[in-house]
Structure 1
Amino acid sequence: MIMKKIKLGYLAAAIVVVLVSSCVMKKQVETTSTQITGKKWQLIEVGGKVISEKVNGKMPYLELGTDGNYSANGGCNGIGGTYEWKKNEGIKFSRGMSTMMACKDMSAEYGLQNMFEKADHYRVENNKLIFTQGNGTALAKFKMVAN
């Protein structure tokens, strides 16, 4: 009888730990997501190369919507799709649509496409949004655009 009570006590404690952990995780994602969603982020570096403020006369950017959709431009074509948050500052992009124009400089656009395919984590560091893959290698860096 005493052993059953002890086992039930451990089970109850484990359930409380799981519930509290999931609440903390959800709160962390919500806090981080409100810092970066609904804002326009200018692409400043991709694949280790600094990106000009204007590429083909347009500012390369990324916008993460609060609804799980994103829109971007690499200085030529509009790019859009969906994303989802993962645990531990994880993110997964799914490609949706893209216009199909050819422009003189496509390097930023190709870099963005690579980022959408490979990025699995993000972090905000010194007012910059950085997307990384696996070991933390930066794929792309953005700075927030003042409205």
Structure 2
Amino acid sequence: MFRTAICVAALLAIAIAFPIEEHHIDYHAPPKYNFEYKVHDPHTHDMKSQWEKRIGDKVVGQYKIVEPDGTVRIVDYTADGHNGFNAVVRREGHAHHPQVSYHGKGGSIYEGVAGGIGIGQQYGQQFGGEYNEIGYGYGGEI
């Protein structure tokens, strides 16, 4: 029993003699991060990218997106506690709009529907006691 007590006391003395090294975590360190991403999908033509970094209370970044007309919109931005959020937007490239071609002989905008949609009016005699008839249907005027 005495031997056990001496062993426990010796182990306790060794444990106290070598202090555990503590790692200090600074909970008040200034925030800091960097990130970026890119998307390039030729199937959907979704093309964009962004990067951003923060050091302390200041954030700077940029994002780019390819617009449907082919131009590239670029936004450079900064944000801080003194100036707030500021963005500078610019475009690069020239807009390309497809030529619209109209087929057919004109008339109803619904001509692509089988036969078109007809909305016709037939007026009865003005003083003959008849009524105005308005017809709706497919296939042209009634």
For the criterion TM > 0.5, the same-fold answer is no
Structure having the higher strand fraction is 2
Structure having the higher helix fraction is 1
What TM-score does the superposition give when structure 2 sets the normalisation length?
A: 0.30
What TM-score does the superposition give when structure 1 sets the normalisation length?
A: 0.29
Q: Which structure is larger by alpha-carbon Rg, 1 or 2?
A: 2
Q: Which has the higher contact order (CA 8 A, sep 6+)?
A: 1
